[in-house]
């Protein structure tokens, strides 16, 4: 499960790079960034930014509501539940939809379709945010935003706490690595900007399904 959650951090970085570079300079994982963009009234094409960033924030919140409702019975510890698997499967399906929409209409994407892709991507990021919180929220880490994670790492260093520090540090590093890697993909093949997030989250889903199969197999521990 640790590997799957770290992959989600990598996916979040790749997703935000795709959204920012290909979908009009908007974030779909970093809601703090979107709220700042909404306040930048002097930014060129501000109304465009206002609408698209607003769509991202609103759909992210809607995705949080849906995922928290779905997983309300799941415990906040690294154990597999069918609800969490469903949420991650939903994330994968949403990333697939975004990729297909982008690669099909690349170069002809109007503002309406752009907002649809932003909204779908934001819901995907909301889903995986809930997944990370349900599994490792007690360690003070998230797979989509790292301000709190960085704060927790520094606090651990000062207080000489080792529990979860390595995991949180890797989460931050992988978020940056995902953004860097997908920026290179977009530079070389702009139409494939949505592919890397899809591949990463699909791999994470595979790891989770494998772990679930082990826990439900005869002799395995039940979640």
Question: What predicted TM-score, i.e. pTM, was given to this entire model?
Answer: 0.88
Total structural domains within the chain? 1
Which residue segment(s) compose the domain that 20 sits in? 2-207
Residue corresponding to tokens 């093949």: 189
Query: Within a domain: residue 44?
Result: yes
DSSP secondary-structure letter at 29?
A: S
45: left (phi over 0), alpha (psi -120 to 50) or beta: left
For 21-33, what is the mean pLDDT? 93
Alpha-carbon distances, residue 163 vs 76, 114, 168, 169, 223 (angstroms): 16, 42, 10, 12, 23
Within-domain flag for 195: yes
More confident residue, 136 or 8: 8
Retrieve residue 57's tokens.
């924030």
- As a whole number of angstroms, the distance between CA 140 and CA 54 comes to 27
Residues in the chain: 223
Residue 220 within any structural domain of the chain: no
Average pLDDT for 155-167 = 74
Q: Over 80: is that where the pLDDT of 59 sits?
A: yes
Task: Please tell me the predicted confidence (pLDDT) of residue 171.
Answer: 86
- What whole-number distance in Å separates Cα of residue 98 and Cα of residue 122? 10
Question: Tens of pLDDT along 98-157?
Answer: 999 999 887 677 899 999 999 999 999 999 999 888 876 656 567 777 777 777 778 777
What's the CATH number where 180 sits? 1.20.1250
């Amino acid at each position: 499960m640790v590997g799957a959650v770290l992959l989600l951090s990598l996916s979040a970085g790749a997703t935000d790079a795709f959204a920012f570079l290909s979908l009009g300079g908007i974030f779909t994982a970093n809601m703090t960034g979107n709220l700042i963009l909404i306040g930048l009234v002097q930014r060129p094409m501000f109304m465009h930014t206002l609408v698209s960033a607003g769509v991202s924030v609103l759909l992210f919140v809607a995705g949080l509501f849906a995922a928290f409702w779905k997983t309300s019975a799941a415990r906040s510890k690294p154990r597999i539940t069918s609800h969490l698997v469903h949420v991650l499967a939903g994330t994968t399906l949403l990333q697939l939809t975004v990729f297909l929409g982008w690669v099909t209409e690349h170069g002809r994407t109007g503002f309406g379709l752009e907002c649809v892709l932003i909204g779908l991507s934001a819901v995907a990021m909301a889903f995986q945010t809930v997944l990370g919180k349900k599994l490792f929220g007690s360690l003070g880490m998230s797979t989509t935003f790292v301000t709190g994670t960085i704060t927790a790492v520094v606090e651990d260093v000062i207080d000489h706490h080792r529990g979860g520090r390595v995991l949180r540090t890797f989460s931050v590093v992988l978020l940056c690595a995902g953004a860097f890697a997908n920026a290179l993909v977009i530079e070389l093949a702009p139409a494939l900007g949505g592919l890397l997030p899809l591949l990463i989250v699909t791999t994470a889903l595979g790891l989770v399904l494998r772990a679930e199969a082990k826990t439900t197999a005869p002799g395995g521990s039940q979640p």
